[in-house]
Amino acid sequence: MSDPERDALALAAQPPSLPVLASSFNDIHDSTRTVARQFARYFAVGGVAFIADAGTLYLLTRYGGVYYLVSATIGFLLGLCINYVLSRFWVFDRRTLQSTALEFVIFSVIGIVGLGLNDAIIWFVYEQIHVHYLAAKIVSGGVVLIWNFGARKMILFR
């Protein structure tokens, strides 16, 4: 075997370097990487919105004497507005609709479905399982996060 053949075989036997693998993976899975990045950002935005949402729930219920489901609804609507603004400017870079007003309406309709899930889960966990309403809010937050991201990604931000 000649030296060039031996060198070629030795090179072929070596595993590819990490940068080569990463580059190939990114080229093949670019859309997955984008969705993963969007979900990570959406998760962070959801965290900010959740703090406002749960904080409003707690403050209105504990110190304002407001019924917990009314507080949950008010908090959810505040979180919805925060989520829209941050999602529009930081999470999703593509728009399905040109009209910001129509986009917000559809974003809100998806959020209203999420609100129904939110209140139903909080009610069920609090009233039927007898877990504190803030713990119920955490359970609800996880379910609604997945619903909202999936629906908004598929309908508004493809």
- pLDDT tens digit string along 74-100? 999 999 999 999 999 899 988 889 999
Rounded to whole angstroms, the Cα distance separating 45 from 86 reads 6
Q: What is the mean pLDDT of the chain?
A: 85
Split at pLDDT 50, 70, 90, the class of 53 is very high
Query: Helix (H) and strand (E) counts for the chain?
Result: 6, 0
Mean pLDDT, range 32-53, rounded to an integer: 90
> Domains of the chain: which residue ranges?
31-155
- Region at 23 (left for phi over 0; alpha for psi -120 to 50; beta for the rest): alpha
